[in-house]
Amino acid sequence: MRMRLRTSTVALMCFTAVAAWATHVELRAFTQATDIARSDTANVEFVPEIGLSLLSTQVSLLSCDTAISPTFSAFRTTRQRQATAHNCASFAKAVLQLSPTHGFAHFIASASDHEIGDRSGRLLALRRSIQHAPFEGWIAERRFALAVRVRDLELLDAVEPDIRTLLSTQSGAELLARYYDQTPDLARRINQAFLSVSSHEEQRFINLLRRRFLS
């Protein structure tokens, strides 16, 4: 009886210790997700905190996505933007060491490399994001917006598969309609992808363009 009680007690203590450790790791990961967006200087000792759950990793990547977005960056200094980009690049690369096919992490690496000024890294990471997450519409929207904002021909060539993906979703088609007349080259690329869509997708995009140009 005493042996059973002792075994149960030890098991409970082990479970409690593991649970406390897991909670600590997750809390550190969630805390870092908030701190990344507040970076003022590049931290050479920055150590990415990768949580145990997919949720904590996704929250950190989404925090980076917001922090390096044009809307958020517009209110920050160059030093602050660079610091955040360096930390987000480090975090994305740490995630990719554990999950090499994480399409969103590759996108964050691409966007961070763009802010840092690493053109080759930006293109390579963007291509890998498309390779590993070709039909994730919400990531395709971000890749397309980055390529259009940068106006780099290699990036625009890389996201041509994303244009076809975006035409298949409501929010994606709305995004394309919004950017359609920015440059003749962009309109040409969208028109090329438009040739392979279904009749339903074709009519939806035409209606969106009509609404845009008549409003």
* Complete DSSP assignment for the chain: -HHHHHHHHHHHHHHHHHHHHHHHHHHHHHHHHHHHTT--S--TT------SSHHHHHHHHHHHHHHTSHHHHTTS-HHHHHHHHHHHHHHHHHHHHH-TT-HHHHHHHHHHHHHHT-HHHHHHHHHHHHHH-TT-HHHHHHHHHHHHHHT-HHHHHHTHHHHHHHTTSHHHHHHHHHHTTS-HHHHHHHHHHHTTS-HHHHHHHHHHHHHHHH-
Give the integer Cα–Cα distance in Å for 55 and 46. 21
Instruction: Give the count of beta carbons closer than 10 Å to the beta carbon of residue 185.
Output: 11
The answer to whether residue 188 sits within a structural domain is no
Burial class (CB in 10 A: 0-12, 13-18, 19+), 129: buried
Residues in the chain: 215
pLDDT tens digit sequence for 122-181: 999 999 999 999 999 999 999 999 999 998 999 999 999 999 999 999 999 999 999 998
- Asked whether the predicted pLDDT for residue 21 surpasses 50, the reply is no
The answer to whether residue 58 sits within a structural domain is yes
> What's the token pair of residue 149?
């904002």
The answer to whether residue 167 sits within a structural domain is no
The answer to whether residue 2 sits within a structural domain is no
45-69 burial, b for 16+ CB within 10 Å, e for fewer? Answer: ebebbbbeeeebbbbbbebbbebbe
Q: What is the domain-level CATH number for residue 93?
A: 1.25.40
> What's the token pair of residue 160?
């041509």
The answer to whether residue 176 sits within a structural domain is no
Who wins on pLDDT, 139 or 82? 139
Q: Which residues form the domain of 115? A: 48-133
pTM equals 0.82
pLDDT tens digit sequence for 173-213: 999 999 998 888 999 999 999 888 899 999 999 999 999 88
The answer to whether residue 57 sits within a structural domain is yes
The answer to whether residue 208 sits within a structural domain is no
Q: Determine which of 44-58, 80-94, 100-114 has the lowest per-residue pLDDT on average.
A: 44-58
Residue of 116, 187, 174, 191 lying closest to 148 (CA atoms): 187
Give the integer Cα–Cα distance in Å for 54 and 7. 33
Total domains in the fold of the chain: 1
The answer to whether residue 195 sits within a structural domain is no
